[in-house]
Chains A and B, each alone.
Chain A
Amino acid sequence: MSLTPQDIQRLAQLSRLQFEPEAADRLLGQLNGFFDIVEQMRAVDTTSVVPMAHPVDAMHGLSQVIADTDEHGITLRLREDVVSEANQREANQRSAPAVERGLFLVPKVIE
């Protein structure tokens, strides 16, 4: 199965990217080259294999030294949803492209 020029257009839209026609052609060839080597992976029988989203998930044997474990294994930690940082609006907006009265400016969205 190969990607088509229409796929590139759709993915570019999903990715919020624009490509000149030449660049889109080149990209199509490169992505198809990559998905050629992906084929060997698709043939592997993974029935009953639990997906591994995260390396901490593979450290079960070490649960005695890693906290945040429960009967479901290791879970990624969430902190309390409380304010922990001082207000640093000015510092945080120093690198913003366009700011007015402490607000981020964007092009007009609603007429």
Chain B
Amino acid sequence: MADLHHMTVAELSAGLKKKDFSAVEVATRFLARMGGNPHHAFLDIHSEVTLAQALASDEKIANGTAGPLEGVPIAHKDIFVTKDFVTTAGSKMLKDYRSPFDATVVTKLREAGMVNLGKLNCDEFAMGSANENSAYGAVTNPWDATRIPGGSSGGSAAAVAARLTPAATGTDTGGSIRQPAAFCGITGIKPTYGRASRYGMVAFASSLDQAGPMARSAEDCAMLLSAMCGPDLDRDSTSLNVANEDFSRLLAVPAGDKPLATAGKEGGALKIGVPREWLGSGSQVEFDGHAPARRSEGTDKEIQRRMEETLTLYQSLGADIVQVSLPQAHLCIPVYYIVCAAEASSNLSRFDGVKFGHRAKNFTDLADMYEKTRSEGFGDEVKRRIMIGSYVLSHGYYDAYYLQAQKIRRMIADDFQTAFAQCDVIAGPVAPTTAWQLGDKAADPLANYLADIFTLPASLAGLPCMSIPVGLDDICMPVGMQLIGNYLQEASLLNVAHRFQQVTAFHHA
């Protein structure tokens, strides 16, 4: 029997059901590994809460009332509010904050039987690409502790990669699940916007924020996603009124001689679209007989190579690689940072030192209390985005910035639909580089924004998308590949990822 902490969610779940080991044994193992808080991944741990949940799970397993993931541990990004653990959102503003309720995603995963190991470090209010914007200190990458784990779900990615938890929740506003998953060599999926309830997720940019699972494999992510999603109509006005699915149902489809025939459409080989703007010249991959595309500017050669190798492998599994185009995708950085800043400046106006959170000690009057409270409680990146948001929403600038960004957002979403007329899934890099050194971009906010170039388009469109590990670069840091599906096509997307993971071992590293 493999060590408990090396087991996947699927293996742990099966072993618990067969009573090979107990939920308390599993929880105890992970709590022991979390001792000393490796990689500074956790922000709050209460072993007595975790063990009580594990004990309750063991009782359910014993009396035959176990949920689908009964007794399997998970840890939550500190963006999800929890009654039993402090929720800070990585901000000094919410130091020691205790929510009176649990986020819907937290409740659903507990109802499925999962045991909560604690709360995971993240960028303040999920704003960041390196986890260096946490008010409680940076997270380090388990592959190289001098490097960042990615962000904003950096604690989630590091904890899964370091086997501190078999699974974690993350949130993805502009790439915050996919990019840290890629940088830490794990698998993560952001479902279609509206699949998972935002109730109890500390709000950053409401038209973009979406929860998703981070784990070792597509198989695990499918099980977790099935437990997380579903309509929450009375509590989230953007929750899709679409019946929940068993996202594992297509994992093994189709068998036999068409291993990669698309699960969603009748017959034929899976068509993987590669945006010509994203993969470069000199490519070894033949795009449907067409001329090779222009190399994406600034993307690391090692990442280009891993992409090409991965696409070649998909071809050998029977997939067709076709060239598609996302002509407006390069505008995603200004569009995204205007939209998210506008929404953030509105969402974060609730932090005024009155109803909850930090309040300044010294002030002269009410307005001064608001200003001192917010100036003390927010970090630099959060303040920058609030300022940008105030500007693009202000009188005289709204049309030129915010409205223009919303129009180009539509053009980017339309580009995807044009592309999906020619392919089943879209593949590309997750980021232009692998994980960088701690501090490298800390003083340069724009450099962080530019690193989001490949994850922002799918976020703006609200499409389901994921990251799977596809190898290492020349200094042995993990490389992720991004897969993007059309709306509500998560099960097919997970099938495509799973078929790859059936014939490769990168996700076991």
Contact = CB atoms under 8 A, between A and B. Distances in A.
A54 B358 contact: no
Interface stretch (B23-31, B214-222, B236-244): B236-244
B291 interface: no
Contacts of A54: 207, 238, 462
A50 interface: yes
A76 interface: yes
A30 B444 CA distance: 8
A67 B243 CA distance: 11
A53 B394 contact: no
A97 B241 CA distance: 38
B98 A76 contact: no
Contacts of B335: 41
Interface residues of B, number: 74
Interface in B389-421: 389-391, 394, 400-401, 403-411, 413-414, 417
Contacts of A92: 100
Contacts of B369: 106-107
A95 B359 contact: no
A51 interface: yes
Given A38-B401, A84-B234, A52 B407 contact: yes
B208 to A, nearest CB: 8
Majority-rule SS of B interface residues:
helix
B387 A37 contact: no
Contact of B366 (A8, A76, A98, A106): A106
Given A50-B410, A78-B237, A65 B388 contact: no
A104 to B, nearest CB: 5
Given A11-B391, A17-B374, A92-B100, A46 B353 contact: no
Interface stretch (B275-283, B378-386, B433-441, B475-483): B378-386
Given A44-B408, A49-B410, A15 B240 contact: no
Contacts of A49: 407-408, 410-411
Given A51-B403, A56-B193, A56-B240, A31 B388 contact: yes
Contacts of B366: 106-107, 109
Contacts of A14: 390, 394
Contacts of A41: 331, 334-335, 338, 404-405, 408
Nearest to A50: B410
B49 interface: no
B121 interface: no
B237 A15 contact: no
Contacts of A15: 345, 374, 383, 386-387, 389-390
| A interface secondary structure, majority | loop
A88 interface: yes
B212 to A, nearest CB: 15
Given A16-B371, A107-B363, A52 B413 contact: yes
B445 A107 contact: no
Given A30-B446, A46-B407, A58 B461 contact: yes
Given A44-B408, A56-B194, A95-B357, A62 B488 contact: yes
Contacts of B404: 41-42, 44, 46
Contacts, number: 173
B354 A52 contact: no
A55 B462 CA distance: 5
Contact of A46 (B241, B337, B411): B411
A13 B501 CA distance: 52
Interface string A41-80: 1101010011111111011011001111000000011110
B410 A52 contact: yes
Contacts of A52: 406-407, 409-410, 413
A41 B399 CA distance: 13
Interface in B334-359: 334-335, 337-338, 345, 349, 352-359
B442 to A, nearest CB: 13
B375 interface: yes
A76 B384 contact: no
A94 B357 CA distance: 10
B462 A58 contact: yes
Nearest to B358: A97
Interface in B222-238: 233-234, 237-238
A97 B353 contact: yes
Given A15-B390, A91-B100, A98 B359 contact: yes
Given A16-B371, A18-B371, A68-B241, 7 more contacts: A11-B394, A15-B387, A16-B370, A17-B387, A42-B404, A46-B407, A78-B237
Interface of B: 97-100, 193-194, 207-208, 233-234, 237-238, 240-242, 328, 331, 333-335, 337-338, 345, 349, 352-359, 363, 365-367, 369-372, 374-375, 378, 383-384, 386-391, 394, 400-401, 403-411, 413-414, 417, 445-446, 449, 460-462, 487-488
12 contacts: A14-B394, A16-B371, A17-B375, A33-B446, A38-B338, A41-B335, A41-B405, A41-B408, A52-B413, A55-B194, A55-B413, A91-B100
